[in-house]
Structure 1
Amino acid sequence: MKIQTKITLHFLTLSTGVLLLLNTFIFYFEYQFNYRDFFKRLQARVKLTTDIRLFPGEKARAYQEMRNRFLEKLQGETEHIIKASPTGMFVNQGLPDDFFADLAANGNAEYKKENQFFAGKIVARGNDRFMVVVSARNPYGLQELDELKSVLFFGFLGTLIIVFFVGKVFSFYTFAPVRKLTNRMNEITSNNLHLRLDTPGKDELAELSNTFNDMLTRLETAFETQNNFVSNASHELRTPLTIINSEVELALDKAGDDAAQHEMLTTIQTETNKLTQILNSLLLLAQSGFDGKKQDWQNTRIDEAIWQAIESVKKIQPKSQIEVDFSKLPDDENLLEVSGNSNLLHLAITNIISNSCKYSENKLVTIQLRVEKSMVVIAIKDQGIGIPADDMKHVFVPFFRASNTHDFKGHGVGLPLALNIIRLHRGSIGIRSEVNIGTEIQVFLPSVKA
């Protein structure tokens, strides 16, 4: 999951918690206010009932008239007046037991049972004591709470939707610099390690950009050092080897009929030539990677590159048998074009075909060319000795040779060199093999048109 999505979800979760807490507080305080307000209305009616029923007179009649004219009749409103016995005890006449006991003990009480509310107090008149109670239902209060519940619920859902989209917009713009940084990093490859990231401002992203720039500087230095060392070492070593080879050839011409000396000089010449080939391969291997400059790229037809590679292999191994299968070519020939350096691609394909011919001991090698989605695929299949399973993970390691290749000449540079070149062209190589059955290597290169 992307960090941008995570932030949106975290933002939504946090907002959900805050909204739930806020709605809970709103409902709770409205609930308390609603019930307290209704109890106050009951207490007012208790006082009026006391004045009207227990203290009749002119004032009581005025209260009664005011009550009839201005005071709303509550739903299910009922008045209870209970007179204490001569011993001062009250007898419950249908009131809830808890409410009656609380009122008798404290002289004033409020009680709620479901939607039935009770309010009462004990009033003294002369030597007599009276328990005055008013009860009523509060359907409008419940209706208000239900409506508030609906408003809070739908408001909660609507707010969550708004918060979600606000969170997406917020995270999108928050991570805009990160996306810009990522896009810039994707532009930097082994061909342009001299490029650097922009470092505007002094925030954490600028610090991260500076860290990446420092890393790129170290990488560029390491690549240049390695490439220069291999190039210079190969060049400097080839000069004395060329001199040695020339001197050996002169010595062979002067050796005459001395068989032992002739054999010794021939061995020196052979090993010198072998060392020269290794150095040439090493130099090519280095040059196929980072060289501080962008390669000279152009559009290249892969089918033409295959024919040129076959021609080169035939010159080195005249007895090789190579069959080309073009049965799966696309109708649009432009799909066979790839962007790259034609010389390097020629070298990579030639190395793979040459390996297949060499290790198949001139048995038939089949080359198939096809296009899959946006990739040009070259499948090279031989009927050779195959590669042991334990050696498969090392076949692209420079100078590694499989354990069953002792009878074949080679330096273990061909496949690593081919892999470097294919990767340089944003492609990949797949390989599968079985011992004594054969090996198939598939090269994937991005098509220009696709």
Structure 2
Amino acid sequence: MKIRHKLTLRYTGATAIVFSLVVLVVYLFSEHSREKEFFRDLTREAVTKANLFLSDRVDAKTMQSIYRNNRQFIDEVEVAVYTTGFKLLYHDAQEIDIIKETPELIKNTIRKKELEFYEGNYQGIAMIYSYEGIDYVITAAAYDGYGYAKLNSLATLLIILWLSGLVILAILGYFLARGALQPVSRIVDEVDVISESNLDTRLAVKKEHDELDELSETFNQMLDRLEKSFDNQKMFISNVAHELRTPLAALSTELEVALLREQRTGEEYKVIITNALDDAKSLKHLITGLLDLAKANYDFSRIVTEELRLDELLLDAREMVLKANKNYSVDLIFDQNAEDDSMITVRGNAYLLKIAFVNLMENNCKFSDNKSSDVQISFFEKNAIVRFSDAGIGISKEELEKIFIPFYRGKNSTRTKGQGIGMTLTQRIIILHNGIITIHSHIGEGTTFVVEIPHI
């Protein structure tokens, strides 16, 4: 069942309950008013007849005759007059006797002064009436035919209004629900055409600051994340297909050369195996770099983070660099003494930050004649700052703009091995940690990478 139909049914159901309560209250109030009004009429009629009888202005036979004649056409009031000792003085029609008075009724009337009650469909009263200083008990009863007729007409009218009102409200509710959900239908139509081939499409936001705008904006944010994820996957697959081709081809060539001749010397096989091993190591480094690059594209909220001291991370990174490259030199310099450890403590992922720092240290060492990197640590109010400097060949202004492009290698890269992944990976890791990385370089003077990361 569609939402518009559910809303229509719920709206109609809720309205029906409220409408029914209103109709019921109107009916009950009308019935209560009819009842009270008729009890007052009975009292007036009883007093009038009792006064006529007790004052001898009309004799009993005449009054009884009038009652019997009127009873054929209207709901005439039957009145009886008793003494307080339960002696009958007058009765309109004793053979009919609607109330059927008893001594108990007379006693209750004397005690309570006035009673109102029902005898079947008839309403009745019993009351004390004083005439010339003497108390009498008067009873009166009649059927409120006119009142019930009006009440039945009212009930019929209320039922008609209830039914017609519900039909009108159901139709109105349907159109209101359809109008309210029209923007949702538009959103569904817009979403329906979005696929992996056009993830850059976004839902229109009307800036009305309602729930549908929030839905559209949330969906657009989800599309942003999906598009980024798809782009990362496409780039990763493209990078893998492109970059693995060369080392695999070189490895295959080395092995094919080994099979060209059946007879080879041990030295020749050693050279071939050494070359193949170098190609395999290069392939391993490339795969590791590609995997690290993929990890750096994750949502930061999905990465395990903890509070990390930058000095400890840099020491670990320095150890990793020196262990892999015996001829490299890395010096750590502290510009300031941190009295508060929080100034050099950041929240992040230790594995990724070590990769970034190792890449920067190795980049300094690769492109400097003395194979060294100077690492300076400082801090300010919000950020911890790490500078990685070398006195190497430097980077030209044109190449500075391309250094973070995946797999880009500058003109001076011919003197070193690499895949062009390290700097791209480093930048993404720093950005992932809400930091920034900048480069200052001059040809022949050296290069400095400045990393700024918010401390805790």
TM-score by length of 1: 0.50
Distance 1:145 1:36 in 2: 14
Q: Report the 3-state secondary structure (helix = DSSP H, G, I; strand = E; otherwise coil) of the residue aligned with 1:194.
A: coil
Which residue does the alignment assign to 1:226?
A: 233
Verify the 8 A CA contact 1:118 1:134 in the aligned structure 2.
yes
Q: Secondary structure at the match of 1:188?
A: coil
SS in 2 for 1:161: helix
Cα pair distance change 1:186/1:242, threshold 3 Å: same
Structure 1 or 2, whichever has the larger Rg, is 2
Residue by residue over 1:164-214, the C-alpha shift from the partner in whole angstroms, topping out at 9 and shown as x without a partner, is 222211111111111111221121111111011111111111112111111
2:218 corresponds to: 211
**CA, structure 1 residues 186+133, in 2 after alignment: closer, same or farther (shift >3 Å)?**
same
Query: Could you tell me how far 1:81 is from its partner in structure 2?
Result: 1.3
Q: Return closer, same or farther for 1:198/1:78 CA change in 2, 3 Å cut-off.
A: same
What's the CA shift for 1:220?
0.7
Output the amino acid matched with 2:234. N
For structure 1, which segment, 73-82 or 218-227, has the greater mean C-alpha deviation from structure 2 after superposition?
A: 73-82
Deviation of the 1:91 alpha carbon: 4.5
CA contact (8 A) 2:126 2:140 kept: yes
What's the CA shift for 1:11? 0.9
Could you say if the C-alpha distance between residues 151 and 113 of structure 1 is closer, same or farther in structure 2, counting changes exceeding 3 Å?
same
Structure 2 unaligned blocks of 5 or more = 89-96, 284-456
Change (3 A) 1:250 1:115: same
- 2:20 is matched with 20
For 1:33 and 1:202, locate their aligned partners in 2 and report how far apart those are by CA, in whole Å: 51
Give 1:50's aligned residue.
50
Distance 1:204 1:125, change over 3 A: closer
- In the superposition, the TM-score normalised over structure 2's length comes to 0.50
Shift, 1:2, TM fit: 3.3
Shift in Å at residue 9 of structure 1? 2.0
How many aligned positions are there?
Answer: 266
Alignment of 1:430-445 (within 5 A): none
Alignment of 1:116 onto 2:116? no
- Aligned residue among 74, 86, 90 for 2:86: 90
Provide the rounded CA distance (Å) in 1 between the counterparts of 2:142 and 2:200. 86
Structure 1: which 4+ aligned runs deviate by more than 6 Å?
259-262
Gap regions ≥5 residues in structure 1: 277-450
Secondary structure at the aligned position of 2:49 is classed as helix
* Aligned: 1:187 with 2:193: yes
Equivalent-residue separation in structure 2 for 1:129 and 1:144 (angstroms): 37
Query: Which of the numbers 136, 152, 162 marks the counterpart of 1:146?
Result: 152
CA deviation profile, 1:373-412 (whole Å, cap 9, x unmatched): xxxxxxxxxxxxxxxxxxxxxxxxxxxxxxxxxxxxxxxx
Instruction: Give how far 1:247 is off.
Output: 4.1
Deviations 1:360-382 (A, max 9, x none): xxxxxxxxxxxxxxxxxxxxxxx
- Identity among equivalent positions (%) equals 25
Partners of 1:42 and 1:134 within 8 A in 2: yes
Instruction: Please state how far the C-alpha of 1:18 moved relative to its aligned partner.
Output: 0.4
Structure 2 Cα separation of the partners of residues 237 and 104 of structure 1: 115
Q: Say whether the 8 Å CA contact 1:99–1:109 is kept in structure 2.
A: no
Residues 125 and 219 of structure 1: CA distance in aligned 2, closer, same or farther (over 3 Å): closer
Residues 5 and 222 from structure 1, CA distance in 2 versus in 1: closer, same or farther, beyond 3 angstroms?
same
Distance 1:106 1:249, change over 3 A: closer
Matching residue of 2:244: 237
DSSP 3-state at the match of 2:172: helix
